[in-house]
Structure 1
Amino acid sequence: MTSSMESNISAPWMDRAWIQEVLRDVEMDPSLSVTDCHVTDASSKGDHYLSEMQRITVHLQRAGCTNSRMSLIVKNLPAGEEMRKQLACSTAFPNEIKFFSQILPKFEAILESAAAGCFKPLAARHIHSRDTVPYFLVVTDLAPEGFRMAARQRGLELDHCLLAMKALARLHAASVALRDSDPLLVESMKENIFSEEPPSGILQGFSKPSIVSIAKLVRQWPDGGEATATKLLDLADTFCQRLRQQLSPEGNRLNVLIHGDLWTNNMLFKYNDVTGGVEDIRLVDFQLAMYSSCAIDLQYFIHTSPRDEVRVAHTEDILREYHRELSSTLQLLGQAGKAVTFRELMDEYERKGVYGFLISLFVLPLFMADCENAADTEVLMSGCNYSESSDERSSNKEFVKVMKRLLPLFEKKGFF
């Protein structure tokens, strides 16, 4: 059987022999042979912006065993020259590689030892990685287990949101326990691409066009106004600084290792074959993981992921589910003294409200765009005014509806 890997893989040195060597080491089986590989794209335009992902289907032979198949996900630097240049000197890939290779295994060991059999894995299993340029990460593919993304543009229903909060709370609780035993490892995740100083070119390249585009849109609304649009444009010059301020840990007792990018496409769901109901979840993409307030993840999730009707009616229910799971997991981990009341959590959530506002301006138009109108990262990185060319992200009807509701609330709170 002829391998199709050599012609399709974005890193040519990742050939069949290399995959075989890696899997022999990971599986601790020198008899393992890779007989065939096939590579396909693992994401579509608009699904991810900071990486390129491919799926490798590997056919295996082992001594004394029937032939088997394994599916892997390989995450590389994106193809665009400017994005590769920016990401090569950012924290995105090193953070994710550290999270998968060092931190997640400790999290899952902590959770498993506290209550054997009660906790499912938080994410895919790390297979191999390289933390120097050119970065790459290889993890197990969760698709063969039945996990898949929810509909990105529709937004999550309440049952999906509650399941996401349980997974997030376990992640946060495990980080509290790990900080007790290995504070240096936890606190080594000091920044992400949003908090880097000087500001990342990626942050600047993405944020200003989004804000300009939204301000332009506000001017066109019958009930909009020049004053609101002008205030939004003024924000563009201080956006990066305000984002960094919100992410600063500040010695907060609610600090944890946050996911940092918890939105619809960074969660994979499994559905019941009979009822169709959602029953399990795995988290993916830890490129924005860092040590910060747990409320950063909550604000990010609430302002990017639920269907807007769910966001309006059930934000408190979603946050209560997070608080319940966080409290019960901390107790199981022997960390009950670190728990907070729901009122304390809500106070922190409100204190980080500006972050939810900034994220709504920055990434929500990207996340809600259809594939045809997804942002071209190379155009953004080139410094072109994307909002004045072919950018139709903010003309999305659902996005317009959401922003017409949210902007007056944000303005009333004095966020801009």
Structure 2
Amino acid sequence: MDRTEHNIIKDSNDSEDIPEWINKDYLENCLKNSFKDESIKILNFYTKLASKKGENYVSLITRVLIEYENKNLKYNIGKYIIKSSIEDDPITKKVIKEYQAFEDEMLMYGEALPKIQELMNTQNNLQEISVFPKPIYCDFKNNAIILEDLLQRGYKGADRLKGLDEQHAKLALKKLAIFHACSIVLDQQNPGCFKKFDHGIYNRHSEGLNKFYYTLMQKVSYVIHNFGDEFINYSKKLLNLIPYWIEKERQCYDPKPNQLNVLAHGDFWSTNIMFKYDEPGQPLDAILIDFQFSVWTSPAIDLHHFFNTSLAGLPNADKMENYVKYYHDELLEALKLLNFKEFSKIPNYEKFLNEFWISNGFHAIQITFLNKSTCLLGHCSAACPEALFGKGEKVERFQWAIANNKLVHEHWRILLPFFEKKGLLNI
């Protein structure tokens, strides 16, 4: 790339979709703010969409490479990600606003995550650990966040259809435990500091996705009814749950005064985790990304989401509970590293497992029957924001594609008897 000043390059296939406000002046201002250096001058920049409209339901992801110099004429190359809101469709715009997805993520990157990083920096054993990408700039005017591009540090996504093996899963759970532990300590220092994060995917403020989930669950129940005679009763129980579905999920998301609460990621699954690998291809590290649905609630929300969307192979109850134990051990270890003193407020493993299943187990049903199939859906022409938030034929086609996703049907067959044994199918 020539170092000719103002040489702006866009991918020809993406130029129409990349927001017009992503220009030289805008990017230069972001860098000046981030590095506290007014002398920064952009020489060239290159933009390319990392995800196209329809591949991400609420965000447009633009990858940017910037060549710039400062007052010392020192030449630099920076690689960044710009997350911006998809708001072309009025229905989508209304629902995204209702869920505060972008507002909360900018609060996470602008306030909460820097506080967590600052806390980690006070402990020698945590200073060098990365849990999330470095934020560069939070733009409330354009509903955008500029972040470091983790690809330049060697991180990449895992195969969501293949799922995560034990090495990947434990790396992810360790980072989650550190993230949660930091939020516990910060809440101890400043009680209630994260309570404003109360707009998770299920909350007491919005109705946007409720109708979608109601009608999708009817289709899922119909598909399960056709699995065979031994599944008809399960299908009826799921249908009976539908009128209570939203309230049961809201109860899972509600913070509980007498139980463990953390700042949960809120959408913790393989696509929102990036990994670094060694030469033979073994995973070495993990970083959490995408904090649009972060919420102050039980850590069980993140664990159920992860276990029922992201693990390789067929579900196994013993393996799942072994992972719960691993997470709990890592949480206690992280709290020790942070010099946490009030361990009497942290449930032991047996009590934590009880909270995981009894108080928050219904979330496993939600993730298993509605989210997992969506997460593992291959290319679907109906998959777009309008299919989630709108109505009509596109929604119907999208929902039937989810319900008929054969990749998850065997998981449903295995988990239905297990969920019934746990009492989770009861009203």
**Match in the other structure for 2:182:** 174
Shift of residue 278, structure 1, vs aligned partner: 0.2
The 3 A distance-change label for structure 1 pair 386 and 356 is farther
Which of the residues 346, 355, 358 maps onto 1:348?
Answer: 355
CA distance in 2, matches of 1:373, 1:182: 47
CA distance in 2, matches of 1:375, 1:223: 32
Shift of residue 305, structure 1, vs aligned partner: 1.2
The 3 A distance-change label for structure 1 pair 388 and 86 is closer
Which of the residues 90, 93, 96 maps onto 1:87?
Answer: 96
**Match in the other structure for 1:126:** 135
What 5-or-longer segments of structure 1 have no aligned partner?
A: none
Which of the residues 367, 384, 396 maps onto 1:359?
Answer: 367
The 3 A distance-change label for structure 1 pair 190 and 395 is closer
8 Å CA contact retained: 2:373, 2:407: no
CA distance in 1, matches of 2:45, 2:148: 15
**Match in the other structure for 1:304:** 309
The 3 A distance-change label for structure 1 pair 47 and 389 is closer
1:75-114 correspondence runs (5 A): 75-81=83-89, 82-114=91-123
Shift of residue 343, structure 1, vs aligned partner: 1.2
SS of 1:261's equivalent in the other structure is coil
**Match in the other structure for 1:411:** 420
**Match in the other structure for 1:281:** 286
Shift of residue 300, structure 1, vs aligned partner: 1.5
**Match in the other structure for 1:21:** 29
Percent of aligned positions that are identical: 25
SS of 1:194's equivalent in the other structure is coil
Deviations 1:118-142 (A, max 9, x none): 541211111112346x422111111
**Match in the other structure for 2:68:** 60
Give TM-score scaled by structure 2 length.
0.89
CA distance in 2, matches of 1:223, 1:94: 48
Determine whether 1:398 maps to 2:426. no
Alignment length (residue pairs) = 412
Give TM-score scaled by structure 1 length.
0.91
What 5-or-longer segments of structure 2 have no aligned partner?
A: none
SS of 2:204's equivalent in the other structure is coil
CA distance in 2, matches of 1:381, 1:46: 13
8 Å CA contact retained: 2:56, 2:384: no
**Match in the other structure for 1:220:** 226
SS of 2:383's equivalent in the other structure is coil
**Match in the other structure for 2:42:** 34
CA distance in 2, matches of 1:117, 1:382: 45
State the AA in 2 paired with 1:247: Y
SS of 2:176's equivalent in the other structure is helix
Deviations 1:219-271 (A, max 9, x none): 32234544433332343333222111111112134111111110010100110
8 Å CA contact retained: 2:9, 2:45: yes
1:180-219 correspondence runs (5 A): 180-197=188-205, 199-201=206-208, 203-219=209-225
CA distance in 2, matches of 1:299, 1:385: 31
Shift of residue 364, structure 1, vs aligned partner: 1.1
**Match in the other structure for 2:336:** 331
SS of 2:146's equivalent in the other structure is strand
State the AA in 2 paired with 1:329: A
The 3 A distance-change label for structure 1 pair 123 and 159 is same
8 Å CA contact retained: 2:226, 2:232: no
State the AA in 1 paired with 2:366: L
8 Å CA contact retained: 1:258, 1:296: yes
Shift of residue 57, structure 1, vs aligned partner: 1.5
Larger CA deviation: 389-398 vs 81-90? 389-398
CA distance in 2, matches of 1:63, 1:117: 34
8 Å CA contact retained: 1:212, 1:387: no
8 Å CA contact retained: 1:205, 1:380: no
Deviations 1:370-390 (A, max 9, x none): 123673331332223657435
1:250-265 correspondence runs (5 A): 250-265=256-271
